[in-house]
């Protein structure tokens, strides 16, 4: 009788959370592996977007993506073979709820719009916003995920998209159209 092998996700994990390294542009990925080994981490929650300028921005992607406005170092591509060789699983963090005003200003059709017609701003600070999942942002998000799934990653941690309901529902043209279709009013 053969024993069924457990999936890695069902086994005990010691997860290292690699959060927003300001030195991502030049930090050696071998050092990240060294830290994982020293801490006996067998899974890493890996950030390959730099979000500390007030949210996600498309010029701070550290993997190959057709959506990036700037070609940066492919940190994810460098890290994955090292992680695999060390027996470390990689779960990529994807921010889909918090964006800099820079990317928001370039995509007004994606905004979360409040009942008074103003854009939802100031999620966590003074220079950030979010996008509506019912807008073309949805397709952009799928493209981003497709770009990540080209890599041999073990999983994705979704941070969003979310509706910020405590601040009211979204009244953008896309949400109003969907509401009218659903409720005939």
**pLDDT tens string 49-65:** 877 666 777 888 889 99
pLDDT tens-place string over residues 72-90: 999 999 999 999 999 999 9
Which one, of 98, 113, 110, 122, lies nearest residue 47 by Cα? Answer: 98
Predicted pLDDT at 166: 58
CATH number given to 9-183: 3.20.20.80
Instruction: Pinpoint the alpha helices (H) of the chain.
Output: 29-38, 75-86, 101-105, 137-149, 173-183
What's the pTM value of the predicted model, to 2 decimals? Answer: 0.88
The low-confidence residues of the chain, meaning pLDDT below 50, are none
Determine the pLDDT at residue 165: 63
The confidence score (pLDDT) of residue 123 equals 83
CA geometry: angle at 65 spanning 63 and 69, to 5°?
100
Q: Residue 127: its pLDDT value, please?
A: 82
Residue-level pLDDT at 125: 81
The rounded Cα 84 to chain-centroid distance in angstroms is 22
Chain centroid to CA 78: 19
């Amino acid at each position: 009788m053969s024993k069924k092998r457990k999936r890695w996700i069902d086994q005990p994990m010691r997860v290292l959370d690699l959060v927003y390294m300001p030195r991502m542009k030049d930090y050696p990925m071998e050092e990240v592996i060294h830290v994982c080994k020293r801490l006996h981490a067998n899974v890493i929650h890996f950030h390959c977007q730099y979000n500390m300028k007030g949210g996600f921005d498309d010029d701070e992607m550290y993997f190959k993506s057709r959506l990036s406005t700037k070609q940066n170092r492919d940190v994810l591509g460098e890290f994955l073979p090292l992680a695999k060789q060390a027996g470390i699983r990689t779960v990529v963090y994807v921010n889909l709820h918090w964006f800099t005003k820079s990317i928001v200003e370039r995509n007004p059709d994606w905004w979360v719009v409040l009942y008074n017609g103003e854009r939802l701003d100031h999620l966590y600070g003074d220079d950030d916003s979010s996008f509506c999942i019912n807008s073309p942002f949805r397709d952009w998000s799928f493209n981003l995920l497709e770009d990540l799934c080209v890599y041999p990653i073990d999983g994705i941690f979704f941070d969003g998209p979310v509706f910020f309901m405590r601040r009211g529902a979204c009244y953008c043209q896309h949400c109003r159209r969907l509401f009218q279709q659903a409720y005939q009013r």
